[in-house]
Amino acid sequence: MEHMKPEEIIELFKEKFNGSVTNSKIEIKTAGLKKTSYSLIWLEIELKDFKEAVKLLCTIQFPHFAIISDNDTGEEIKLTYHFSLYYGERFKEISLNLATNLPKNNLKIPTITDLIPGAQTSEREMKEMMGITFEGLPDLPNIFLPIDFSKGVFPFRKDEKGIYPLSKNGKHVGGNITDKEEEVKKVE
């Protein structure tokens, strides 16, 4: 199969998902002593079509999944899934970054682990750190936060109000999160 150009990939997504692609752009970067160029595609798609967009991506070529990044914008959390197409093919690799927005009052998105099993660790990280529910992802124990970490506290969220006081042994003593303006004191 012939490799698709970044413009063709964006056009394919726009045709398939009509008005659901809310933003797209291509960046050309250079790297190394020889200033070798490589392409980055940025696509933003509505949540309702996100999983179908990942399925479409898998039909172009099975993508190499890197990570999910997040951005807490206040009312929404933007998730960006970072993929590579033509991974490992010298001078042909394309970075494709697929983003969607989740409203904070409904932090749910379908898992992509049935399509790309390697996404499980990143989805679990977003579950623990951002409080996102990945529908279809098995409910497994934490891998980043300790088992006794306070429920309902999501360390990467901007709407948290501070940190819990610690006891001498470094364990959380519970209670309410302190306001940012208050000085946090260790409990003796």
- The radius of gyration of the chain's CA atoms, rounded to the nearest angstrom, is 20
d(CA 123, CA 111): 8
Q: What is the CATH number of the domain that holds 32?
A: 3.30.460.80
User: pLDDT band for position 1 (50/70/90)?
Assistant: low
For residue 156, being part of any structural domain is answered with no
Q: Which residues contact residue 16 at a Cβ distance below 8 angstroms, ignoring those fewer than 6 apart?
A: 52, 53, 56
Q: Which residue is it, tokens 């967009």?
A: 53
d(CA 115, CA 118): 9
For residue 113, being part of any structural domain is answered with yes
Question: Using DSSP, how many helices (H) and how many strands (E) does the chain show?
Answer: 3, 7
**Between 145 and 186, where is the model more confident?**
145
Domain residues for the domain of 10 are 6-135
pLDDT at residue number 46: 98
Q: What is the model's pTM?
A: 0.83
Residue 180 pLDDT > 60: no
User: pLDDT band for position 15 (50/70/90)?
Assistant: very high
pLDDT at residue number 187: 47
Mean pLDDT lowest among 3-12, 92-101, 148-157: 148-157
pLDDT at residue number 179: 44
* DSSP helix/strand/coil, 65: strand
For residue 185, being part of any structural domain is answered with no
Average pLDDT over residues 163-172: 56
For residue 165, being part of any structural domain is answered with no
Mean pLDDT lowest among 68-77, 111-120, 157-166: 157-166
Q: Which phi and psi (to 5°) does residue 166 adopt?
A: -110, 150
Percent of the chain with pLDDT over 90: 62
Q: How many domains does the chain have?
A: 1
Give helix 6-17 / helix 50-60 axis angle, nearest 10°: 140
